[in-house]
Every structure is written in structure tokens, then in C-alpha cells.
Amino acid sequence: MGSADIVPGVSGGTIALITGIYERLVHSISTINFTFIKPLLKGDLKGFKERLFYEIDFKFFIPLLCGIGLAMLTLANVISYCMDVYTALTYSFFLGLIIASSYVLYRQMDELTLKHVIFTVIGAVLAYIFVSLNPIAMNHTLPILFISGLIAICAMILPGISGSFLLLLLGQYEYMLNALKTMSLSEIVVFCAGAFIGILGFSKVLNYLLEHHEGITMAFLIGVMIGTLKLPVVHIVNTTPLTFAALLPCIILAIIGFVIIVVMETKFDYIE
């Protein structure tokens, strides 16, 4: 998830979905209500500990957050280099990932009705418009970084919607990528604080939709993934001659990305 969240156009939520942890992720975040603070204020340490471990799924969050953090710190330079030097090949690989993720999500749907098709089309149109927007020129003050983190995290948890691309539109992507490279703690802490507050609120909405309107929610997310395909395609077309010889390596990498996702979904399908 950390590797995917670094890349504009690829969603960490997609990775959570294909590895079978998505619904647990959303539910675990949405159940954090900070009721464990009340016994702590009363000096009831035993009650605090019981409520804390009841409310927060530490067995889930600790390895997940460690993995995300490690990936972001170690792969920021690698992914940045690949996007700059091997732009077409890198985005071809991402193209395969996104197509496969849409396919995996489609397979998980119980049925496909006209209502689902309509929501898929709506999602695709909205996502296409979203990725067609031009980046906004904004400064990099701490309040702006806080708001950017709050907004971007809502996209990062959604399959198909790239939080990194949203940061790109907000004009904060390269700045935050550089902050990760240089370990600029003040910017990282403020951004993460905004993300923390944003994900607590948004996860409750998403958890409600998955519990009460799972079919149309999944259909909408499939549409979103299809709509965001414009982003990698544009990067490939703009940086590669449109000849078979030039496009062949791109096609091969897209197929490799597709196969990896399908194999991962098969291997992790047993996870509830």
C-alpha cells in the first residue's frame, strides 16, 4: 500500500482490496471513537487498557503501518527515479495494475444489474474529469500541508483513486516527496496529522456505504478505476513513439502488471 500511495495514478486502497484486507481496514478505522480517553482522564488505567485494545485493532494496524511507512521511506527515491527516467515503462506497468484491479473488483461482485452499470459509468466519467484537471498553484505552508493531507487521505483509502495524484493537483506532490527524501519532520508530521483526522471521518462514511450499499459502491469504484486509466495512457503516449517496436516493451510490462495483480488476488483470496 505504501508503494502504491507514492505513485500518482495508483491507489493504496486498490492494493488493500486485492490482498483481501480492504473491508477490515475500513471497518477498523471507522470503529476508532476515542472512548478509551474517558477512563484515562479518570485515572482508571485498567479500564483505559481494556477500551484501547477493544477499540483499536493493534494486531492489524501495527504491521500494516510499519509496512506502509517502510515502503514510503525506502521507495520514494526509486519510484521518483523510474518515473523520471523510464516514464513510459513505469506507467505501462501501472496501467496493467489498474486494469487488473478493475477486473478483480468486478469478479468480487455478486451480480451486475442496470443500476450497477449506471454507477460504473458515473464513476468512470467523474474520474476521467478528475484526472483531466490541471494542477493548482498553492504554497507549501504548514496549514496548506495539513489540509492537503486531510484531503489526499480520503482518496488514498479508495480503490482506484490515487491520493498522490490528488496531491499533484494540489501542487504538493513533489514537495512532499522531497520532504520524505530529506526527512523533513515538521512537514511530515503536519501532513500526517491532517491525514489522520481525515481518514477517521471519511472511513465512517465509507464503512456505512460498504455495509448498506456494497454493490453500487463497488460498481462506482470499478468505474473510477476505468476513468483513471487516462492518466497512465497519456504519459505513455506523450513519451513513446507510437510504433510497434517502441510500444512492445510497454505492452509486456502492462501484461506483467496485470498478471501480478491477478496472481496476488488468487493467493490472498482466502483472507477475510
pLDDT digits (tens, 9 = 90+) for 183-197: 888 888 999 899 888
All three cell numbers of 250, joined, read 510497454
More confident residue, 9 or 69: 69
Task: Categorize the per-residue pLDDT at 268 as very low, low, confident or very high, splitting at 50, 70 and 90.
Answer: low
Q: Which residues contact 175 (CB under 8 A, 6 or more apart)?
A: 140, 187
Share of the chain above pLDDT 90, in %: 11
- Is the pLDDT score of 100 beyond 60? yes
- Is the pLDDT score of 18 beyond 50? yes
User: How much is the pLDDT for 35?
Assistant: 85
In this structure, of 59-63, 81-85, 90-94, 132-136, the range with the lowest mean pLDDT score is 132-136
More confident residue, 80 or 230: 230
- Is the pLDDT score of 104 beyond 90? no
* Residue corresponding to grid cell 515538521: 186
- Is the pLDDT score of 164 beyond 60? yes
| Interatomic CA distance for residues 38 and 48, integer angstroms | 8
- Is the pLDDT score of 165 beyond 80? no
The mean pLDDT value for 250-262 works out to 89
Query: To the nearest whole number, what is the mean pLDDT of the chain?
Result: 82
- Is the pLDDT score of 212 beyond 90? no
Task: Categorize the per-residue pLDDT at 118 as very low, low, confident or very high, splitting at 50, 70 and 90.
Answer: very high
Task: Categorize the per-residue pLDDT at 64 as very low, low, confident or very high, splitting at 50, 70 and 90.
Answer: very high
156: nearest Cα among 22, 59, 270:
22
User: How much is the pLDDT for 9?
Assistant: 60
User: How much is the pLDDT for 53?
Assistant: 87
